[in-house]
A and B are shown apart, each in its own frame.
Chain A
Amino acid sequence: MADFTLDDIRRILRASGGVDEQTDLDGEHFAGTSFADLGYDSLALLELVNRIEREYGIQIPDGDLAHTQTPLEALTYVQARLTEARV
């Protein structure tokens, strides 16, 4: 099972929601900045969930990831799901 890191979140956000000049995905505060402040809306989070599910072969119940506010929270949540899936 592949590891899931902040870089994976960056990569998926770039591919799915796109980035523009105002978005700094590589900044030191990325992990703790809310998705909203990074410019990603609920549709972007839905797309993030879809891609994580497909790529990592896990199920994320509807809305679960929507409760996370930041990439760090999303990372923690997904890593927990991956650990569950390995058991």
Chain B
Amino acid sequence: MSASGIRPGRRGRSVVTGIGVVAPTGIGAARHWESVLSGKSGLGRITRFDPTGYPVRVAGEVPGFRAGEQVPGRLVPQTDRFTHFALAAAEDALADAAADPATLPEYEMAVVTASSSGGTEFGQHEMENLYQKGSSWVGAYQSIAWFYAATTGQVSIRHGMRGPCGVICGEQAGALDALGQSRRLLDTGSRLVLSGGTDASLCPYGLVAQLSTGRLSTEDDPARAYLPFDAAASGFVPGEGGAILVVESAEAAHARGAPAYGEILGYAAGFDPTADGTTARHSVLVSVVRRALADAGLAPGDVDVVFADAAGTPAEDLAEARAITEVFGPGGVPVTAPKTLTGRLYAGGAALDVATALLALSAGVVPHTAGLGRPAPGCEIDLVLDRPRQTDPRTALVLARGHGGFTSALVTGAGDRHALRR
């Protein structure tokens, strides 16, 4: 048995053939990737509502997203913003993969996405109607729009994908778990899975819910608010958006003549049982990384870059740096966290990190972590700073830790696709 419970002999190869991005760094994989390479930040003062009275006023908002243009008209008033994002990203990912669902067997296409907050903004408006006007003013669509699985359901209906569908709620780790699940589905009869995740909770209700962790940065300067592994780290910035990927069995992709950005080589998940989680978090993360590598059949020396979870709080950063050092040795592997440009996107975060990792592998470059100053004491990692490194990476490890203890790792390998659709 491998780390994921499926016998290695039964496992087929899982490849990613399409990438759809809706993120603070831009809409579309090409725009996102340009922002990453140039270190262009999507963080700024919140504009979706007046944040004056709140302790957190900086966030990563998706710029220029117009639901009316990017989402089927009927679904705009029926679904929340996190579903709008996913519908747009799914459409993009399918087009990028040149996959036409109408030509594929409906029961062999599956959808599994991650969600962390559900339809928060939609829910807030309906609750306002409830307490300001009464129960008859609550819209019928609240019954489906708030739901964590709303995105998976709407994407499935939209594209006629009637294979196994599900949602995984593991906060920031959720999208890695969804991708791990997509690989399992490919081993049990599906040929194409739409997977990844999005979140959109930059409304007063959503923000207040996030504040309860005490881990958000209250810094007002967008350039100073999210500095993981830095001596000035003061928490993280919340963001919205995410990514949806087309994951296919290598045989199915080959049969369609579709090139792949890369392959999902290994995956493992664990759970940190403690509340604050620093000591345990370190050892759980070490174990998860080792199991993901074992699942991929790789040694630490085979990994060319680590996309860090980068919590942005000193204790969590130190725990992650120590875990990376324990597995790879001091400065043993380049580490990067392009999420300093977007903030933490919750269910969308790890999905975007995997998208960025695949783009990095297909472009042969390690993107840098923009905006950091002085490394925090004790973080003995080779953080890629200032500019991208042209090292032709072939294998990337993506780490994600979700609030409450979710801990996941995913290993991706380079594919045969190097061109991004524009």
Identify the closest chain B residue to A47 (Cβ). Answer: B140
Interface residues of B in 35-82 (CB under 8 A from A): 72-78
Contact B77 A53 (CB under 8 A): no
Within 8 A of A (CB), among B120-149: 136-137, 139-141, 143-144
Contact with A along B203-237 (1 / 0, CB 8 A): 00000000000000000000000000000000000
> Considering only CB atoms, which chain B residue lies closest to A23 in the complex?
B74
Whether the pair B137, A17 counts as a contact (CB closer than 8 A) is no
- Interface residues on chain B, size class: 10 to 19
Q: How far is the CA of A17 from the CA of B139 in the complex (A)?
A: 10
Closest beta carbon of chain B to A35's beta carbon, Å: 13
Verify A20–B74 contact, CB threshold 8 A.
yes
Q: Is the CB of A17 within 8 A of B77?
A: yes
- Determine if B144 and A18 form an interchain contact, defined as CB atoms under 8 angstroms apart: no
**CA of A19 to CA of B73, assembled, Å:** 5
User: In the complex, what's the smallest C-beta–C-beta distance from B137 to chain A, in angstroms?
Assistant: 7
In the complex with contacts A17-B78, A43-B144, A54-B73 CB distance below 8 A? no
In the complex, whether A68 has a CB less than 8 A from a CB of chain B is no
Residue of B at shortest CB range from A18? B74
Q: What is the bound-complex CA distance between A44 and B75, given in angstroms? A: 11
Task: Report the bound CA distance from A46 to B141 in whole Å.
Answer: 9
* A residues near B76, Cβ cutoff 8 Å: 18
A43:B137 contact, CB within 8 angstroms: no
The 7 closest A-B pairs by CB, nearest first: A20-B73, A47-B140, A18-B74, A46-B140, A20-B74, A18-B77, A20-B72
Known contacts A20-B74, A43-B143, A46-B140; 19 additional CB pairs below 8 A are A16-B77, A16-B139, A16-B141, A18-B73, A18-B74, A18-B75, A18-B77, A18-B78, A19-B73, A21-B73, A23-B74, A43-B140, A47-B140, A47-B141, A50-B136, A50-B137, A50-B139, A50-B140, A53-B136
